[in-house]
Amino acid sequence: MEKIILEEKQGNPTFKVSLKNNSKKLYLESYGCQMNFSDSEIVASILDKNGYNTTRDLKESDLILINTCSIREKAEFTVRNRLKSFKKLKKQNPKLIVGILGCMAERMKESLLEEEKLVDLVVGPDAYRDLPTLLEEVEGGQKSVNVLLSREETYADISPVRLDSKGISGFISIMRGCDNMCSFCVVPFTRGRERSRSPLTIVAEAKDLYQKGYKEVILLGQNVDSYRWNINKKEEVIDQNIPSTNFSELLEKVALVAKDLRVRFSTSHPKDMTDDVVHVMKKHRNICNYIHLPVQSGSSKILQKMNRGYSKEWYLKRIKSIREIIPNCAISTDIITGFCDESDEDFQETLDLMKKVEFNFSYMFFYSERPKTLAERKFKDNVPLEIKKLRLQRVIDLQKEHSLKNNESSVGKIMEVLVEGPSKKSALEYCGRNDENYKVVFPKEDSKEGDYVNVLIERFTSATLIGKII
Ligand code: 5AD
Ligand code: SF4
């Protein structure tokens, strides 16, 4: 039986950020998923208590940490090049420490230290509490590594230092790791077993953010529908004396923190997502009408090979059910083209599924074989790269059509938008997001960041809605 930690602290945990007069400077760069960005905030918090303030200026840094991603080969390639670019800085400042964190640290362990001599420090996603000790070792002239994965670490008691945030939207990590073992995916190997964080600390973090003026929280997990506190995988309560919480209950608890605190969550899994979650979304206006539900492929044969645990028909039924409960719910997805043995007919099934669903957004990739995964060990990566890329382009083109069609239907509608910051193109315009996670751009008028404004949509591009405040 899955063992989960059940201790909870008495009362509400406090979330304080120390404001010490730190003397050293940490430059922290993150790649990959939102989870990595959220982890970097935990790292910044741990190091803040150990003498480091963050800086955006590489040149003044005493410590450079790169939080890395291994999901596709290209992501690792980008990080390697970045690490090589630090060699010059190290020559100028021999005391400069360079370290890698996250998935690549876990995957490559000592090789980055020994073979390539690119870094002084390698720390996996469950070992961040050990950073101060590891840094001491490096300062003493050693190279340092901790890539141990944990079954229990959730960093539940650590109050993240909010990086790159204007105090409007904050990530809350609700669980770590993944037990799904999709055959293409490296995450179970780099982030370890699934474990959920105490609901008490999650709600306390949401309250803390709200009290600090935040307007939105994003609950993060590799598969949020597997969130379980005091419930085992057979859906049985483990200890009758402690309250149990599943994801829909957690979502409701967070939604109840404040009526004007927007709640988003990611990522949902088609095999685990229940209607309960959608009903809770419908019940609470502040939970955004947006679900990220990666399908990966439209072919049931390929889905089985991917070990996704559902068929095309199951996925379409999930979509139907979501739309019956919340007709205007925005749905986005992830799609991989050219997975092992994907034939033209299989690929047509993906296009067919896309046409049936008409996703609001998609994140699209061609298959990239990853070490240790079931696909790497057992299947042949037998779709030629050019075919993978051609198929990807077709998927991108089709998504663009659907996005434009969806965006067109928004013209003339009035949408509540949370103002996030200046638009990329003009200092006179703000950019924000509506309930369905669409980017909306509009002239500032007298609104300010963090406000909710009503915007009448007048125009659109494939990625943005454009309008004016009314
Ligand atoms: N190749 C291509 N895309 C991948 N993803 C995960 N692993 C791979 C891989 N080996 C995509 C999936 C997942 C998203 C985060 O990245 O679509 O949902
Ligand atoms: Fe990877 Fe599948 Fe887990 Fe997502 S659900 S992180 S794709 S193993």
**CATH code of the domain in which 55 resides:** 3.40.50.12160
| Residue 305 is assigned to a structural domain of this protein | yes
Which among 29-38, 233-242, 346-355 has the top mean pLDDT? 346-355
Q: Please give the average per-residue pLDDT across 180-198, as a whole number.
A: 96
Sign of CA dihedral 373, 375, 376, 381: negative
Q: What is the pLDDT of residue 116?
A: 67
366: CA distance to ligand 1 center in Å?
8
| Residue 159 is assigned to a structural domain of this protein | no
Question: Is the pLDDT higher at 3 or at 191?
Answer: 191
- For the record, the structure tokens of 351 come out as 């296009």
Q: What is the pLDDT of residue 108?
A: 87
78: CA distance to ligand 2 center in Å?
22
Using a 10 angstrom Cβ sphere, with 0-12 exposed, 13-18 middle and 19 or more buried, the burial of residue 55 is middle
Q: Are residues 266 and 374 in the same domain?
A: yes
| Residue 158 is assigned to a structural domain of this protein | no
| Residue 156 is assigned to a structural domain of this protein | no
Nearest CA to ligand 1 atom 14: 334
- How many angstroms separate the CA atoms of 246 and 274, rounded? 11
Q: Are residues 278 and 401 in the same domain?
A: yes
Q: What is the pLDDT of residue 193?
A: 95
Q: Are residues 130 and 242 in the same domain?
A: no
Q: What is the pTM of this model?
A: 0.92
- Domain extent, residue 452, equals 414-469
Ligand 2 binding pocket mutation candidate from 175, 178, 184, 336 (most atoms within 8 A of CB): 178
Q: What is the pLDDT of residue 22?
A: 77
Query: 330 CB less than 6 Å from ligand 2?
Result: no
**Averaged pLDDT of the chain:** 92
Cβ partners under 8 Å of residue 76, min gap 6: 68, 69, 70, 104
Q: Are residues 104 and 86 in the same domain?
A: yes
Distance, CA of 76 to chain centre: 17
**CATH code of the domain in which 368 resides:** 3.80.30.20
Q: What is the pLDDT of residue 110?
A: 77
Find the ligand nearest to 335 CA. 1
- Out of 131, 146, 161, a domain closes at 146
**Number of domains present in the structure of the chain:** 3
Ligand 2 binding pocket mutation candidate from 183, 187, 368 (most atoms within 8 A of CB): 187
Give the residue from 392, 328, 319 showing the smallest Cα distance to 362.
Answer: 392
Nearest CA to ligand 2 atom 4: 222
Query: 72 CB less than 6 Å from ligand 2?
Result: no
The proportion of the chain whose per-residue pLDDT surpasses 90, expressed as a percent, equals 84
- Out of 356, 391, 408, a domain closes at 408
Q: Are residues 59 and 191 in the same domain?
A: no
Q: Please give the average per-residue pLDDT across 348-361, as a whole number.
A: 97
Query: 187 CB less than 6 Å from ligand 2?
Result: yes
Q: Are residues 57 and 32 in the same domain?
A: yes
118-147 tens-digit pLDDT: 899 999 999 999 999 999 999 999 999 999
| Residue 160 is assigned to a structural domain of this protein | no
360: CA distance to ligand 2 center in Å?
21
Q: What is the pLDDT of residue 115?
A: 66
Q: Are residues 231 and 197 in the same domain?
A: yes
- How many angstroms separate the CA atoms of 183 and 469, rounded? 47
Q: Please give the average per-residue pLDDT across 445-456, as a whole number.
A: 95
Q: What is the pLDDT of residue 11?
A: 34
CB 336 within 8 A of CB 184: yes
Q: Are residues 141 and 212 in the same domain?
A: no
Q: What is the pLDDT of residue 322?
A: 98
Give the residue from 277, 200, 210 showing the smallest Cα distance to 13.
Answer: 200
User: What are 334's strand-pairing partners?
Assistant: 363
446: CA distance to ligand 1 center in Å?
42
CB 182 within 8 A of CB 193: no
| Residue 155 is assigned to a structural domain of this protein | no
Q: What is the pLDDT of residue 87?
A: 87
Q: How confident is the model at residue 462 (pLDDT cuts 50, 70, 90)?
A: confident
Residue 184 Cα: closest atom of ligand 1: 10
Q: Are residues 394 and 426 in the same domain?
A: no
Q: Are residues 15 and 34 in the same domain?
A: yes
∠ CA 67-14-202, nearest 5°, is 60
262-287 tens-digit pLDDT: 999 999 999 999 999 999 999 999 99
222: CA distance to ligand 2 center in Å?
7
| Residue 234 is assigned to a structural domain of this protein | yes
Query: 296 CB less than 6 Å from ligand 2?
Result: no
Find the ligand nearest to 70 CA. 1
Give the residue from 307, 397, 385 showing the smallest Cα distance to 350.
Answer: 397
Residue 267 Cα: closest atom of ligand 2: 4
Residue 269 Cα: closest atom of ligand 2: 5
Q: Are residues 283 and 388 in the same domain?
A: yes
Q: Ligand 1 pocket by C-beta < 6 Å: which residues?
A: 71-72, 184-185, 294, 296, 334, 336, 365, 367-368, 370
Query: 185 CB less than 6 Å from ligand 2?
Result: yes
Q: How confident is the model at residue 2 (pLDDT cuts 50, 70, 90)?
A: very low
277: CA distance to ligand 2 center in Å?
20
**CATH code of the domain in which 460 resides:** 2.40.50.140
3-state secondary structure the chain: CCCCCCCCCCCCCCCCCCCCCCCEEEEEEECCCHHHHHHHHHHHHHHHCCCEEECCCHHHCCEEEEEECCCCHHHHHHHHHHHHHCHHHHHHCCCCEEEEEEHHHHHHCCHHHHCCCCCCEEECCCCHHHHHHHHHHHHCCCCEEECCCCCCCCCCCCCCCCCCCCCCEEEEECEECCCCCCCCCCHHHHHCCCEECCHHHHHHHHHHHHHCCCCEEEEECCCHHHCEECECCCCCECCCCCCCEEHHHHHHHHHCCCCCCEEEEECCCCCCCCHHHHHHHHHCCCECCEEECCCECCCHHHHHHCCCCCCHHHHHHHHHHHHHHCCCCEEEEEEEECCCCCCHHHHHHHHHHHHHHCCCEEEEEECCCCCCCHHHHHCCCCCCHHHHHHHHHHHHHHHHHHHHHHHHCCCCCEEEEEEEEECCCCCCEEEEEECCCCEEEEECCCCCCCCEEEEEEEEECCCEEEEEEC
| Residue 62 is assigned to a structural domain of this protein | yes
- Out of 146, 179, 199, a domain closes at 146
Q: What is the pLDDT of residue 6?
A: 29
Ligand 2 binding pocket mutation candidate from 36, 182, 194, 374 (most atoms within 8 A of CB): 182
Q: Are residues 434 and 394 in the same domain?
A: no
